[in-house]
Amino acid sequence: MMTGNHNATENAHPDPTVLAGGMAVITGGASGIGFALAEAAVARGLHPALVDIEQEALATAERRLQAAADAAGVEVAGFRADVSVSAEVDALAEKVRERFPGRPISLLCCNAGVGAGGGVTTASDADWAFVLGVNLLGVAHCVRAFVPGMLRQDAPGSVVATSSQDGLCAAQGVYGVSKHACVALTEALHGEVRDRLSVHVLCPNVVATNIVTSVRNRPERFGGPVDTGEQARRVQDRFKALGMPPARCAKMVFDAIQTGVFYILAEAEEDPGYVRLEAETRMNAILNGTRPYRPRSEFIAKVFTAPM
263-266 vs 198-204, strand pairing mode: parallel
What is the per-residue pLDDT for 111?
A: 98
Please compute the mean of the pLDDT values over residues 241-257 and round it to a whole number: 95
- Domain ranges for the chain, please list them: 9-305
Please compute the mean of the pLDDT values over residues 232-260 and round it to a whole number: 92
Report, at the CATH architecture level, how domain 9-305 is classified. Answer: 3-Layer(aba) Sandwich (3.40)
The pLDDT tens digits of the residues spanning 86-145 come to 999 999 999 999 999 999 999 999 999 999 899 999 999 999 999 999 999 999 999 999
| Cβ–Cβ < 8 Å for 144, 156 | no
The pLDDT tens digits of the residues spanning 1-54 come to 333 457 788 999 999 999 999 999 999 999 999 999 999 999 999 999 999 999
For 123-174, give the DSSP string: --HHHHHHHHHHHTHHHHHHHHHHHHHHHHSSS--EEEEE--GGGTSS--HH
DSSP state of 5: S
DSSP state of 197: S
What is the per-residue pLDDT for 306?
A: 60
pLDDT band of 231, cuts 50, 70, 90: confident
Whether residue 276 has pLDDT greater than 60: yes
First to last CA, the chain: 54
The pLDDT tens digits of the residues spanning 65-75 come to 999 999 999 99
CB proximity list for 24: less than 8 A, separation 6 or greater: 37, 38, 41, 46, 47, 48, 49, 105, 106, 107, 108, 109
What is the per-residue pLDDT for 242?
A: 87
In this prediction the pTM is 0.95
Counting every residue, how long is the chain? Answer: 308
CB proximity list for 72: less than 8 A, separation 6 or greater: 42, 43, 45
Please give the mean pLDDT across all residues of the chain. 94
Whether residue 211 has pLDDT greater than 90: no
| Cβ–Cβ < 8 Å for 246, 36 | yes
Please compute the mean of the pLDDT values over residues 156-160 and round it to a whole number: 98
